[in-house]
Chain A
Amino acid sequence: MSVDKDMNVLIVDDYKTMLRIIKNLLGQLGFKNVDEATDGTMALELLKGKNYGLIISDWNMEPMTGLELLKTIRGSNDNCKSVPFIMITAESKTENVIAAREAGVNNYIVKPFNAETLKQKMTSVLGEF
């Protein structure tokens, strides 16, 4: 089953430059329905109002971190509970990756990254597109 490129994608980062970069790269990959949130709380609000096929989130945000966002999503009873979640972060220590995996992350990208890496990780989570 092919990936529906019309799916809604939610990107979360407190750094607007990064949101813009990720949105542009997603656009290059054919994903045009991209919503942006600048922190975890805003992301949760958006998740209440729309179905998303993928969440791509930074880790280092305030007041709610990406890891807290992930745990909240995975611990909820909402439809978003099992939405694929990719963490994109500069936190590259082993313990970070383990913590994210244990919290239910689907993949993990270390900044700085390129379009090819993003595509690879999305493919591993969503399937070929």
Chain B
Amino acid sequence: MPEKLDIDSLVQEGPFERDEVVRMIDSVVRKVSISGIDNEGAGIVSDIQELGQIIEQMRRDIGRSGVGDIKDKHIPTATDELDAVVGSTEDATGAIMDACEAIQGFVSESGGAVSDKIDAEVIKIFEACSFQDITGQRISKVVGTLKEIEAKVAVILDALGGAIPASSEGAGDATATDSEADLLNGPQMPGEGVSQSDVDKLLSDFD
């Protein structure tokens, strides 16, 4: 008789890592194969083998879907981009307010009815600049949500085992169109990319 599998104790021990589940299935199949089985047992073994194949297929599908990239690439990139949005709008707002203060200085020196009107309009610009505070707070909330998603994806990946294949498998199949699309990355992050003088130098090297 094959060694009886203690299902109850296994259930109490769970949950299991993916590799452990595969190992258990293999173990059951091996033991049943060695001990010999009747028709009913053969059906069970077949079901278990199919289950193992489903798990492996699921693992490959998840790998192809690029779920690992969500944690490792997409979310970190998105949060960096959003931080850059906050930084660049803050700089732009600062520049607008610099100009406004300069205008206020000029009109206070000149005086008169027109100056008062200009001053009133400048105040409206100042008021409008508070958009930067609101958008900054909204973006911070989005960044927080993205980080929560990142953490949850990490938990799912851990549960499925660390050996999920990366989506870059088969990257050699990339077409020329894909390569051109890869060139469209939008504005570079601060410190990345090259300066105009670098571009000029690079182009001059082609001459």
Which A residues fall within an 8 A CB radius of B? 15, 17-18, 20-21, 24-25, 28, 60, 90, 111-115
Q: Is the interface of B mostly helix, strand, loop or mixed?
A: helix
The answer to whether A111 touches B123, judged by C-beta atoms less than 8 angstroms apart, is no
Q: Output the residue of B90, B101, B133 with the most chain A CB within 10 A.
A: B133
The answer to whether A90 touches B134, judged by C-beta atoms less than 8 angstroms apart, is yes
Which B residues fall within an 8 A CB radius of A? 90, 93-94, 97, 100-101, 104, 119, 123-124, 126-134, 136-137
The answer to whether A111 touches B134, judged by C-beta atoms less than 8 angstroms apart, is yes
Contact for A113 among B90, B100, B127, B137, CB less than 8 A: B127
Name which residue of chain A comes closest to B100, CB basis: A24
- 26 A–B pairs (Cβ distance < 8 Å), ordered by A: A15-B136, A17-B90, A17-B94, A17-B97, A17-B132, A18-B130, A18-B133, A21-B127, A24-B97, A24-B100, A24-B123, A25-B126, A28-B119, A60-B137, A90-B133, A90-B134, A90-B137, A111-B130, A111-B133, A111-B134, A112-B127, A112-B128, A112-B131, A112-B134, A113-B127, A114-B124
Shortest beta-carbon distance, B65 to chain A, in Å?
Answer: 37
* B130 neighbours in A (Cβ, 8 Å): 17-18, 21, 111-113
Alpha-carbon distance A28/B124, docked complex (angstroms): 12
